Amino acid sequence: MTMTESVVNFNIPPYVGTEMDYVREAAEINHKICGDGPFSRKCHAWMEERFNAEKVLLTTSGTAALEMAAVLCDLKPGDEVILPSFTFSSTATAFQAMGATLVFVDVRPDTMNIDEAKIEAAVTERTRVIVPVHYAGVACEMDAIIKIARRHNLIVVEDAAQAVMSTYKGRACGTIGTFGCYSFHETKNYSMGEGGAIVINDPTYIERAEIIREKGTNRQRFFRGQVDKYTWVDRGSSYLQSDLNAAYLWAQLEQADKINEDRLATWAAYYEGLSPLAKSGLIELPAVPPECVHNAHMFYLKCTDLAERSELIAHLRARNIQSVFHYIPLHSSPAGKMFGRFHGEDEFTTRESERLVRLPMYYGLSPEDVRRVICEVRAFYDAR
């Protein structure tokens, strides 16, 4: 390493260059900066068409989209929600806020997604919802999950925060369950700083979703001329996103394929460059089941154990390369213990989460930097 080598960041928020033009347009031409203005409508229409979705509504965050879904599920205290423990806190907080009990189910070691084969054993009389999280943008085994949900009359809420542009058997992630939740946080593939969207796949929920999103009022019906004044009719909050943020996101949706291809190229380069280490059994690489097309949200590898992972992260940090581990399983967190329980044996969640390390991945990461990261990971293992 030379002293002049720059830092390889773990993430740099996506930026395509037209974002500020559209933000200006919202402010100076449209004079519309609150929610559901022209840019929000463009984003909604684009996602509905591209993902073949019944209804998509921008929200202030992926967390807000999950919260809206939890309200739409009409959960009551004591109702149970099944989710993986290996996920972000928002997957849990949205449902916990409704008084639901969280039932954590183990993940599959190959994809780090909820193990569909372990879900049904966790279903009880009180179970109302299953929340599959498409980790790293690789879809969960949705056919199996939907079958279980049908058998027990459960709602499926897809946490597709990481899976915008990913598909399962040709269908867009987020459009397969009753609801899907996207995130446009700066760490995600497409961003507006903070933001998200809820996908409503069962049309019977659309009107209520619009009400809940607009402070519990029937304002949307008023705008459509279906009622002559609007009023408070249901529970709700302010979940709609500003059109300024929507303008920013619109710039990136227009170039969604370009962003996606760039990330996939980075992912493929990592995979190829690190395959010799995987073949030697030194590391494990992520699996993408044949029915899944992913969006390169993340590139991770798995070390032998926690100690080796710490050394690898330190090795890379000393060479100006940022790499990071991921979730502390929710069932072992203070709040997770208070609000939930792990069903069955924690065979893989803790063990696999301790081995996982994420490498730099963002739109515009240069092939030279990717090569540098690969070389340093290989050097680390060569020296052992």
Identify which range of 57-65, 261-269, 331-339, 356-364 contacts ligand PLP by CB under 6 A. Answer: 57-65
Q: Which is nearer to ligand PLP, 128 or 185 (CB)?
A: 185
Closest residue to bound ligand PLP by CB: 62
Interface with ligand PLP (CB under 6 A), residue from 72, 100, 122, 133? 133
Distance (Å, whole) CA 204 – CA 237: 20
Binding mask 157-196 for ligand PLP (x = CB under 6 A): --x-xx--------------------x-x----------x
Q: Which is nearer to ligand PLP, 192 or 251 (CB)?
A: 192
**Spatial separation of the C-alpha atoms in residues 139 and 117, rounded to whole Å:** 15
Nearer to ligand PLP, 55 or 358 (CB): 358
Three-state SS at 56: strand
**Does 214 participate in binding ligand PLP (rule CB under 6 A)?**
no
Q: Within 10 Å of residue 293's Cβ, how many Cβ atoms? A: 18
Fill in the per-residue mask, 89 to 128: x = in contact with ligand PLP (CB under 6 A), - = not in contact: -xx-------------------------------------
Amino acid present at 6: S
How many residues form the binding site for ligand PLP (CB under 6 A)? 14
Token digits of residue 204: 């019977």
Indicate whether 63 belongs to the interface with ligand PLP (CB under 6 A): yes
For 66, phi then psi, to 5°, come to -65, -40
- From the CB of 90, what's the least distance to ligand PLP, in Å? 4
Q: What is the dihedral of CA 265, 267, 273, 277, to 10 degrees?
A: -160
What letter represents residue 36's amino acid? D
CA distances from 20 to 16, 248, 254, 297 (A): 10, 7, 14, 24
Cα separation values, 47 from 21, 57, 213, 315, 360, Å:
21, 9, 18, 41, 27
Using N-to-C axis directions, what is the helix angle for 62-72 and 89-96, rounded to 10°? Answer: 30
Whether the Cβ atoms of residue 69 and residue 46 lie closer than 8 Å to each other: no
Q: Does 67 bind ligand PLP (CB under 6 A)?
A: no
**Sole binder of ligand PLP in the list 87, 127, 245, 323 (CB under 6 A):** 87
Q: Is 218 in the site for ligand PLP (CB under 6 A)?
A: no
Task: Verify binding: residue 295, ligand PLP, rule CB under 6 A.
Answer: no
Q: Of 95 and 380, which CB lies nearer to ligand PLP in the complex structure?
A: 95
259 binds ligand PLP (CB under 6 A): no
Are 251 and 22 within 8 A, CB to CB? yes
Q: What DSSP line would sit under 156-189, residue for residue?
A: EEEE-TT-TT-EETTEETTSSSSEEEEE--TTSS
Residue closer to ligand PLP by CB (options 85, 90) is 90
Residue 294 interacts with ligand PLP (CB under 6 A): yes or no? no
Q: Footprint of ligand PLP on this chain (CB under 6 A)?
A: 61-63, 87-88, 90-91, 133, 159, 161-162, 183, 185, 196
